[in-house]
A and B are shown apart, each in its own frame.
Chain A
Amino acid sequence: MKDNLSRRMVIPGEVVAEGDVNLGSGVYREGDKVCASIMGLLEKRKSFVKVIPLTGRYIPKVGDFVIGKVTDVNLTHWYVDINSAYNAILNPRDYFRDIDAFQTSLLKILAPGDMIFAVVREITPTKKVYIAMTNRGARLLRGGRLLTINPAKVPRVIGRKSSMISMIKKEVKCSILVGQNGRIWIKGKPELVEIAVKAIKRIEREAHLSGLTDSIKSMIIEEREKL
């Protein structure tokens, strides 16, 4: 995590590299120079440069798990808010069980206000986003608690090889689903859910610090002992 600390904060327009390098996201080329296009932390390797966003909306990627809110239904599909620039579309054939759209009203299956855990299936060149619930783990969320954090901080909540999130799940004995779009769903004993929420909010706040997994773990244990 040491390299994390050495990441420099950059501002749109700032020159971050010169010459022949490969560009990741958050940068653009202008003549011989490479500049940042967003507020973020600069990540620079030998021949590759990108800026990790510090703010901004979730940008969908195929394969991402997201937590969506159904906002509208029509005869053939659902509209789902995925906390992004685009509303996603869920077609009945991408629901996890067979639906005869001619026989059943979609409203009876998912209604506005329902929350779902789904996966981004396809993004068209005109940026239409299709999500699906046919993958393992996809489901309708019932009960529990919902939390929204900055999507840019999600990788830190999950941790390297899921180390952070597995630790939290184990320590608070809750089921936790993390959407890449910054929404997190937690279900378990209310007082333990409360601790999990505190822990996640602290990770969001202190994402730039190193040794976070250990300090979060001791915080959870401390809070648990207070119960």
Chain B
Amino acid sequence: MEEIVSEIKKDYIASLLDQGKRQDGRGFDDYREIIVEKGISNKAEGSALVRIGDTQVMVGVKLAVGEPFPDMPDSGVLTTNAELIPLASPTFEKGPPDENTIELARVVDRGIRESGCIDLEKLCIAEGEKVWIVFVDIHVLDYDGNLFDASSLGSIAALLDTRLPKIEDGRILYGEKTRKKLPVVDKPVETTYAKIGNNIILDPSLDEELVMDARLTVATTEKGEICAMQKGGAGTYTREEILDIVSRSIDKGKELRKYL
């Protein structure tokens, strides 16, 4: 379902931005309040709850033992999945994942995968036969804008929180976590800038997302390199705007990483 935005709200948000202000009083490069809690669900091998303003996303990591892909016999497997459950917003609907859900999961997945933040080769148990499969499940609980940043931050937090379960006689004892962590070697984070009129703002709230022309998400690594990007929305960006967003994203990434 699509939300219809009132013309009054559109005009109000746009004219505020032209005066250099935002609806909730933030600066253009400010996040809303961020809270990251790890170890939220004891049934998951790793979990985290991320709040950015009123947006709440829970991420759980589950581990299973399975076969590797034939072309990568000595490498563990990463699977990222998202659910926009109807509990989180009046506009979310039941049923198989829609394009927004799939986009969210894939953009978060790309940030994790392309950064190489999980050393997948260390997740090999027996080459060509048995490897750890890492399931990252993103569960959106309250949707008030900017799911990308909240979900990617939550995913990394949950991966960092993950402890391998014990294996005995080839059986996984889920109740008994070992002290062994996942081999997480980097902390990629995603930052999203929305464009409204000629203004570019970080961490769009729901109201801002509803009126935005375009959106750009940039995933950056600890070294300050870019590892994934995604443009959204029907509007356009200029070359200069994109370069500007990239350098702002690299700076903001450092700030975000402090929450991990």
Contact = CB atoms under 8 A, between A and B. Distances in A.
A56 interface: no
A185 B4 CA distance: 18
Contact of A112 (B4, B9, B11): B4
B234 interface: no
Interface string B1-26: 00011111111100000000000000
Contacts of B12: 144-146
Contact of B8 (A71, A81, A185): A185
A50 interface: no
A141 B6 CA distance: 10
Contacts of A81: 4
Nearest to B23: A145
A112 B10 CA distance: 13
A113 B10 contact: yes
Nearest to B19: A190
Contacts of B8: 115, 141-146, 185
Task: Name the prevailing secondary structure of the A interface residues.
Answer: strand
Task: Name the prevailing secondary structure of the B interface residues.
Answer: helix
Given A69-B4, A71-B4, A112-B4, A146 B11 contact: no
B168 to A, nearest CB: 50
Contact of B7 (A115, A145, A185): A115
A143 to B, nearest CB: 6
A159 B45 CA distance: 55
B11 A113 contact: no
Contacts of A114: 6-7
A69 B210 CA distance: 15
Contacts of A146: 6, 8-9, 12
Nearest to A145: B12
Contacts of B6: 69, 113-115, 146
A161 B11 CA distance: 33
B91 to A, nearest CB: 13
Nearest to A114: B7
A185 B6 CA distance: 12
A115 B6 CA distance: 7
Contacts of B11: 143
Interface in A90-121: 112-115
A185 to B, nearest CB: 7
Contacts of A112: 4
Contacts of A141: 8
B170 to A, nearest CB: 53
A82 to B, nearest CB: 13
Interface string A133-164: 00000000111111000000000000000000
A145 B11 CA distance: 9
13 contacts: A69-B4, A113-B4, A113-B5, A113-B10, A114-B6, A115-B7, A141-B8, A142-B8, A143-B11, A144-B12, A145-B12, A146-B6, A185-B8
Interface of B: 4-12
A-B pairs, top 8 by smallest CB distance, nearest first, are A113-B7, A146-B8, A115-B6, A71-B4, A112-B4, A69-B6, A115-B8, A145-B12
